[in-house]
Amino acid sequence: MDKQIKIGILIPKSQQYPSLDRDFIRGLKLNNINVKLFVESIGIGADDKLIIDKIQKLNFQEDVSIIIGFLGHHNMSEVYKYASNNDILLLVADLGATAPYQSAYKGIYINSLGLTESCYHLGRYFSDKKYKIATSTSFYDSGYGILHALEYAFKEQNHFTGHYITPFNPRENEASYMDEIINAQQPDAVFAFYSGLYAEENADFMKQNKITQKYPFYVTPFFINDKILDAYKNNPHELYVVSTWMQDDTDATDFSSNYKEVYSESPSLFSILGYENGLILKHMLLNAANLKTSSLIEAIHKLNIDGPRGTIRFDEDTNRTLFDHYIYQLNLDSFNTISFKKIGTLINDGDFVKAFASLSKPEHLGGWDNAYLCH
């Protein structure tokens, strides 16, 4: 394939994480693939009609061979149906903040951060340890499927002591409310999930009530910010993150060092999704006989390559990547430098995705429409 190949990119915007689009594209470009990129914005990732319009433009006007999309979850089945019916190969990245109800579509391949899947496996871990869990989150973050995934893991026996949700407009003494509600439950641990502005707000409350000094906290990666890290630095106590990958992992990969060398900063969770999708694209183009969708699909099904999160391959039943999940512990060395050390592996058998792929999406499922972190 000597001529420069055209690749379409669909990317959302985020006020919470304004570098989301830049980090994703940087990660993708780190693979040094000789392709021409055509980038289209899809707003906050909630409008399936807009996304289909952009796919039409890329396909018919720009004549791209493959489309890579960083997508959300709202009405994605309509997007997938359209791309599949029009013989378009769509390589999707997502954060996995909602339960993966979508069944597989021909030509649609999903590489996810797997947030809900991480929480499901963490729920099984809690069940095995017979932990009683309090949850703590924001009004915004609770509108996604993270709690639902934990609840699904607890379906045989309820392990919740109760839930605390910060109101959209926090009360004057919100830090005291949080402290009082969680203390009344006397849990074995707290599962907390906050992101962006709400993670910053939460860090202020935790600084006031010092709740993290009373219980081990298990969190999602977007909980982590400089304010939280400063609080833990000044008063080390138990903090665990569940994820398929973590920034400042003590088992740093070549990806992290290469990214730092090229861009003079650490990669984010958006960078790694961009990098992996670029890696998938690179190997697909190397192994496909031609640019016909059928040939590209054949190449993607043979994929079995090493990536920063482990072996990259697509499950034949779901067209999704499968990665193990890890429990990382906050680690402070003698110089007070922060890193995250893997202390547990949550083996991913793929059952979570397969279970939801076989279910019909509830007609009146609550929550927000916008892609997680985009508003």
Query: 116-243 has which fold?
Result: Rossmann fold (3.40.50)
pLDDT tens-digit map of 291-346: 999 999 999 999 999 999 999 999 999 999 999 999 999 988 877 788 899 999 99
**pLDDT mean across residues, the chain:** 93
- Which uninterrupted H or E stretch holds 263? helix 254-263
Amino acid at the residue 168: F
Summarize pLDDT for 213-232 with one digit per residue, the tens: 999 999 999 999 999 998 88
What Å distances lie between residue 365 and 72, 81, 265, 355, CA to CA?
Answer: 15, 21, 39, 17
Q: What is the mean pLDDT of residues 131-156?
A: 94
Please give the Cα distance from 87 to 109 (Å, whole number). 13
Q: Where are the domains of the chain?
A: 5-114+252-322, 116-243
CA distance 73 to 369: 7
Token pair 């935790």: residue: 206
Which pLDDT score, from 0 to 100, does residue 248 have? Answer: 73
Q: In whole angstroms, what is the distance from residue 368 CA to residue 130 CA?
A: 32
Q: What is the pLDDT of residue 155?
A: 82
pLDDT confidence band for 1 (50 / 70 / 90): very low
User: What's the CA gap between 351 and 341, in Å, rounded?
Assistant: 26
Quickly count helices (H) and strands (E) in the chain.
12, 14
Please give the class, per CATH, of domain 5-114+252-322: alpha beta
Integer angstrom CA distances of residue 348 from 61, 122, 243, 319, 351: 41, 11, 12, 15, 8
CB burial string 260-275: b at 16+ within 10 A, e below: eeebeeebbbbbbbbb
Question: What is the rounded CA–CA span in Å between residue 324 and residue 118?
Answer: 9
Give CA separation, 346 vs 119, 121, 164, 187, 243, in Å: 10, 6, 26, 22, 10
What's the average model confidence in pLDDT over 136-153?
95
The alpha carbons of the chain give a radius of gyration, in whole angstroms, of 21
pLDDT tens, residue by residue, 49-67:
999 999 999 999 999 999 9
Common-topology check for domains 5-114+252-322 and 116-243: yes
- Strands (E) in the chain, as ranges, are 5-11, 35-41, 66-70, 89-94, 108-112, 133-138, 160-166, 189-193, 217-219, 239-243, 305-307, 310-312, 325-332, 338-346
Three-state DSSP at 332 gives strand
| Cα angle for residues 151, 153, 158 (degrees, 5° grid) | 55
Sign of CA dihedral 299, 301, 302, 308: positive
